[in-house]
Amino acid sequence: MEDYFKRNHSWEGIQNEELPTDKPFVLIDRNQNVLWKSGDIVEQTVIKTAFPSSLKEDSQRIGMLYVMTPTQQQIYVVKNTWGQYMYGIIALASLLGLSFAIILILLLSRTLTKPINIITEKIRKYEQGDSTINFQMKRNDEFKKIGEALESMKQNIKDAETARKSLVSDVAHELKTPLMIIQGEIELLHIQQKTITNEKYESIFNEIQRLTTIINDLLYLSKLDARQIEIIKEKVDLNDVFEQLMQKTQFIFKKHHAEIIFNKNDVKTIWADKDKILQVLFNLVTNALTHGQTTSKVMIEADNNQNETIISVTDNGVGLSSEDIQFIFERFYRGDESRSRQTGGTGIGLSIVKAYIELHEGKIEVESQVGTGTTFKIYLPIP
């Protein structure tokens, strides 16, 4: 092309020359005008992608020639066709994907609805009172887990139902005995046409008091269950607590000819609801005296470890058997039925103690040895 220019001193007529190559090319002059091109690729594309070589006459630039190599040509073809068909391909792929998804959903929902129907049917039957229903499913997937969860829920409901029934019977039993005694005494008085003696009066009065205690305790427990009892934790002076406890229990200690010993170590304050902690200690101390039988000394000791205050109440009474230890925190549990009745307990005291300590986010432990004594330890977290 340089020769052509040399011969003619211009580019005029170059388009009429025989094509020098079968590769796509573009020739432009100094002013960027396209003079000659071959192939059907758009000029701008050739200019952008092809190799440029500058054409010169006596070191003067006379134009630029862009020639595409076969590789560049192939890339162009691929890009071009991809551009043309891209939308079509994407649309087709989406359509295929969508139909596949729909088919999959249909298939899945079929396998899903079947076990769901089985489960709902079982729940419906259970609701209607059929407690023989077994929710377990002979499968190996999530439905097996649902079945197991339902089965364990069924078991829990059953346990709660049993507990409710035994609670009702316990309560009825607790109320029946004092009422029978009162009724008997009054009937006897009536039959004998006698006025009431002091002794009879006291006996009746004691039974009525017992009834009142039971009913109050029960009402209180139901409030605890309904979470209507709240605690307000604050810094409480331990000296204050011990002093008030002394005042409240003085007469019982006198009655039992027992002594109380406080050992605060270096604990000055505790984080607690004062009234509730006082009630806890009162319950533990009166238990130590009334149930300990041989108790002559009750020791209350406080100590801090890194994150809790530990208060222990130790007596030197008869102690608890390991059988008793398992149940003492349960409602209405009394170690020795006949003995406890005489001491006037309802078997509720320790369940209230435990509930209170749990409201404090603490815990309670008991250690005991028959014949040696018992220690109750409460742990109160220090914030």
- Cα distance between residue 37 and residue 26, in whole Å: 4
Q: With CB under 5 A, what is the number of residues at the site for Mg ion?
A: 3
Q: Which stretch binds ligand ADP (CB under 6 A): 76-84, 134-142, 274-282, 284-292?
A: 284-292
Task: Please tell me whether residue 347 binds Mg ion under the rule CB under 5 A.
Answer: no
Q: Which stretch binds Mg ion (CB under 5 A): 11-19, 121-129, 337-345, 363-371?
A: 337-345
Binding mask 290-309 for ligand ADP (x = CB under 6 A): -xx-----------------
Is there binding between residue 315 and ligand ADP (CB under 6 A)?
A: yes
Among 245, 288, 302, 357, binds ligand ADP (CB under 6 A): 288
Residue 345 engages ligand ADP in binding (rule: CB under 6 A): yes
The CB-of-372 to ligand ADP minimum distance in angstroms stands at: 11
- Which one of Mg ion, ligand ADP, none interacts with residue 66, CB within 5 to 8 A by kind? none
Give the shortest CB-314-to-ligand ADP separation in angstroms.
9
Residue 283 C-beta: closest distance to Mg ion, Å = 5
- Among 319, 335, 349, 373, which residue sits at the site for Mg ion (rule: CB under 5 A)? 349
Q: Which does 63 bind (CB under 5 to 8 A by kind): Mg ion, ligand ADP, none?
A: none
Rounded Cα–Cα distance for residues 56 and 21 (Å) = 20
CB-based contact 80:46 (threshold 8 Å): no
* CB nearer ligand ADP, residue 65 or residue 328: 328
Q: Binding ligand ADP by CB under 6 A: which of 5, 347, 355, 357? A: 347
* Total residues in contact with ligand ADP, by rule CB under 6 A: 23
Q: Which residues contact 273 (CB under 8 A, 6 or more apart)?
A: 231, 232, 233, 234, 356, 359, 360
Query: Residue 44: phi, psi to the nearest 5?
Result: -60, -35
Stretch of 11-19, 35-43, 189-197, 310-318 contacting ligand ADP, by CB under 6 A? 310-318
What distance lies between CA 289 and its chain's CA centroid?
Answer: 41
* Chosen residue from 287, 309, 351, 368 binding Mg ion by CB under 5 A: 287
273 binding partner (options Mg ion, ligand ADP, none; Cβ < 5 to 8 Å by kind) = none
Q: Say which amino acid occupies 179.
A: L
356 binds ligand ADP (CB under 6 A): no
Closest to Mg ion by CB, 147 vs 349, is: 349
Choose the contact partner of 346 out of Mg ion, ligand ADP, none; CB within 5 to 8 A by kind: ligand ADP
Cα dihedral value 355, 356, 359, 365, nearest 10: -70
Among 335, 345, 362, 373, binds Mg ion (CB under 5 A): 345
Which residues inside 300-319 make contact with Mg ion, applying CB under 5 A? none
Q: Which is nearer to Mg ion, 317 or 349 (CB)?
A: 349
Q: How far apart are CA 346 and CA 340, in angstroms?
A: 8
Options 24, 147, 178, 317; binder of ligand ADP; rule CB under 6 A: 317
Can you give the binding site for ligand ADP, defined by CB under 6 A? 283, 287-288, 291-292, 315, 317-318, 320, 324, 328, 333-336, 340, 345-350, 374
Can you give the binding site for Mg ion, defined by CB under 5 A? 287, 345, 349
